[in-house]
Amino acid sequence: MYGKVALGSPRDPERVLVALPPVTGGTGHYAAAVTSGDVYTHGHHATVVNQHAQRTAEDCAAFARHVIEPDARILDVGCGPASITVGLARWASRGHVTGIEVGDDILATAKATVAEAEVGNVTLDKESVYELPYDDGSFDVAYAHQVLQHLSDPVAAIREMARVVRAGGWVAVRDSDYSTMRGYPASEGITRWRQVYRQVCRHNGAEPDAGRHLFSWFCRAGLAQVQMSASVWQFFTPTSRRNWGYSWAERSLKSSFAAQAVEYGYATAAELDDIAAAWRAWADTDDGYFHFIHSEALAQVA
């Protein structure tokens, strides 16, 4: 039952996604602060945004591909640098994608991505998912990738996404689970990184292990017949290992996460140096391997 497909990103063709079959059940640093009062743990430092900009719809929205029609109206919540957004726009070539973001800098980056991709069916708005300015039923699909893990009230966010989707349309969310971020060889520094990251995220009122919560959050938001699937990111080729490891080394020194870790008292600057060194050492290990789970929730609006 398990499929194995190469990710669609031309920039990282060696990263591998393992898809698991879906199952249905149940009913600048502190620019990281978003309008709701939530704090976005990663922030929009270049070390973060450059990593996110390698993502594609083919990888990150594969679980929802079958519900996206060529004329679909799609809402991409927390679109980041919009590399996924432009892929959604190509799938919905006769439709439209509205990407929303909370910060001016990241919106400027998203606009540049859209211009470079030469897709004419994308609008980018500065809005928060908690208070969408769109009428009920405005979209066929509301999608969010790795956004709910950063919110203090993910259930309210899902409820608001469902409100702006028409009856019969879909809410589609994919989120990761930091507890599952494990690798070989064992590394004290990377174990410490996982601990500090999760502490900072929780300090910000957010849930770093969001993936395992999605089903419950969808049910609590009033969505029924939630289809759950899961997929795994793996890093083991020289290119993908260096990409992931060096990126986290930089992020552990320069991003909002690093600043918050020190400010909140979860790590010293010296410890962050050690964490960064551990990431680099892992990235340079010839047989190094790292993986983590994404959970994917898809539900039709009644």
Site residues for ligand SAM per CB under 6 A: 34, 36, 38, 40, 42, 52, 55, 60, 77-80, 84, 100-103, 106, 128-130, 145-147, 150
> Smallest distance from the beta carbon of 100 to ligand SAM, in angstroms?
5
Q: Which is nearer to ligand SAM, 113 or 227 (CB)?
A: 113
Nearer to ligand SAM, 288 or 297 (CB): 297
CB of 131 to ligand SAM, least distance (A): 9
Residue among 99, 175, 102 nearest 141 (CA): 99
Q: What separation in angstroms does the CA of 225 have from each of 20, 46, 67, 136, 270?
A: 18, 39, 15, 21, 48
- Decide whether 132 or 275 has the Cβ nearer to ligand SAM: 132
The Cα 187–Cα 157 span in angstroms is 36
Cα–Cα dist 302/285, whole Å: 50
* Cα 228-7-13 angle, rounded to 5 deg: 160
Q: Which residue from 141, 222, 216, 115 is spatially nearest to 175, judged by alpha carbons? A: 216
d(CA 17, CA 3): 9
- How far apart CA 158 and CA 107 sit, in angstroms, is 22
> Shortest approach of ligand SAM to residue 234 CB, angstroms?
18
- The helix (run of H) or strand (run of E) holding residue 19 is strand 16-25
Q: Which of 141/147 has CB closer to ligand SAM? A: 147
Q: Which is nearer to ligand SAM, 87 or 288 (CB)?
A: 87
Residue 134 DSSP label: S
Choose between 40 and 257: whose C-beta lies nearer to ligand SAM: 40
Q: How remote is the C-alpha of 237 from its chain's centroid?
A: 22
Work out how close the CB of 148 gets to ligand SAM at its nearest, in angstroms, rounded to a whole number: 9
